[in-house]
Every structure is written in structure tokens, then in C-alpha cells.
Amino acid sequence: MKNPSKEQLEAWHKDPNNWKIGGLFYYNKEDERLFPPKRVSWMGWTINFANPKSIAAFLVSFTMILVFVYRKQII
């Protein structure tokens, strides 16, 4: 679904079947957003683990942080 309505996005967010392991992980194959809001929206965003692009974006970000921290310790 390319451009889901606001109502659809909200329905996906509220659907307990899209939240795995006690609501910690968001997994929805229909949702193409890389970083949807967390279950408690004011806490920020999470990763859509059903979207390979989302996982790739997370891994790139995480790797960059590790490289930065590692390089900072060397200097």
C-alpha cells in the first residue's frame, strides 16, 4: 500500500498483532514506513522489522555509531 490513509496508519499502530514480544517490536508487512512511531508515540520511533529497508537503515546507523565510538577511543 503506497499511500495509506491516516486512519489506516492508526489502525495498524493500534493492532496488537503488529506488535511482537510484549509490544516491543513492530512487524507489519503492509506498512512501508522505515521508522513508524513506537507503541507509546511520544517515546519516538521504532523499526518495522517486516521491512528489509528499515532493518538495513538501522544496521547502517548502528554501524556508523559503533565506528564513531571506536575511532573516538583510538584518538
Would you tell me how many other CB atoms lie within 10 Å of the CB of residue 48? Answer: 25
Domain ranges for the chain, please list them: 6-74
Please write the tens of the pLDDT for every residue from 8-53: 999 999 999 999 998 899 999 999 999 999 998 799 999 999 999 9
With a CB cutoff of 8 Å and minimum separation 6, the contacts of 5 are none
pTM: 0.79
What is the grid cell recorded at 16? 496488537
